[in-house]
A = this chain, B = another copy of it.
């Protein structure tokens, strides 16, 4: 079996090699051998750790790590060797990926996989147990398909893309290179297209598909629907968390990130480099420009034409106070009229 981060096979590097990988400067022993990563509190000999935020500085003086990734300002607090960089969190991400490469034993098709005769599968692909692959599917070099996944007819999966367990791709879905799809995700199910016929609902065939760019990540149990006529499009570098709903014909621009449980309704176009907090709801048929951030649980009902940070939602109160708030919310109109009346009277005085 394979996983996105194999936790018991990892590389050993010197501190100098790691520093070079992240354009950092070594303070201390450049020949130290580093074989793992850990938190400031848990790191022991052989491990490198990091200080990504000043609130963790308190743990730095007592760390038992072999080395620490940190910024210029933390160097003097550090009791051990260090890699000094501008952005310790980013450097940590790169070093952890180097030490814990995501590997699978390529060139393997499990005997229980059921593969259509017309499918075209690279010799270096890894196909796990009970995978089902349909007609005329194209699977490129280095692809890994996890157990129980279903790849329907006419799908096209780019180089080094990984689907973990029990993933479903419906007909004609295209995934780019280095895409990572987590368990239970469903890509290409029918969009929710219905037309009313005197009170009953007639299904509208969903004839588009889904196109996903390079380096996209799709979270567990997330659903991305196929387009009604044209395709639903997720551009390169988009990162989607778990349990997200992306409706038909949505387009998400490159390098946008979406946290868990967000819902995006049909035909909405979202720009590049946006960020959406968890459980945000986004209405259909709207446009959101590049570089928009929306905080968690916000309700987005209209297009957003200007980059910036946006929010909505009512903060938590004690239940008894909230009950009063809830009543008053319904009386806002009345409250405003009373103010108007007072203003009239005051003017009259």
Given the known interface contacts A93-B202, A153-B1, A183-B170, the answer about A189 and B219 at a Cβ–Cβ threshold of 8 Å is yes
Interface code A181-216, partner B: CB below 8 Å = 1, 0 otherwise? 011101001101111110111111111010000010
Decide if B3 touches A153 in the complex (CB within 8 Å).
yes
* A8, chain B: closest CB distance, angstroms: 8
Contacts of A134 in B (CB 8 A): 1
Cross-chain pairs A/B with CB under 8 angstroms, 13 sampled: A1-B132, A166-B166, A168-B183, A170-B183, A182-B186, A183-B186, A184-B186, A243-B263, A261-B261, A265-B278, A296-B301, A299-B315, A324-B333
- Residue numbers of A with Cβ under 8 A of B are 1, 3-8, 37-39, 42, 87, 89-90, 92-94, 96-97, 100, 102, 110, 112, 114, 116, 128-130, 132, 134-135, 146-148, 150, 152-154, 164-166, 168, 170-172, 180, 182-184, 186, 189-190, 192-197, 199-207, 209, 215, 217, 219-221, 223, 225, 229-230, 237, 239, 241-243, 245, 247, 255, 257, 259-261, 263, 265, 273, 278-279, 281, 283, 293-302, 304, 308-319, 321-326, 328-333, 335-336, 338-339, 342-343, 345-346, 349
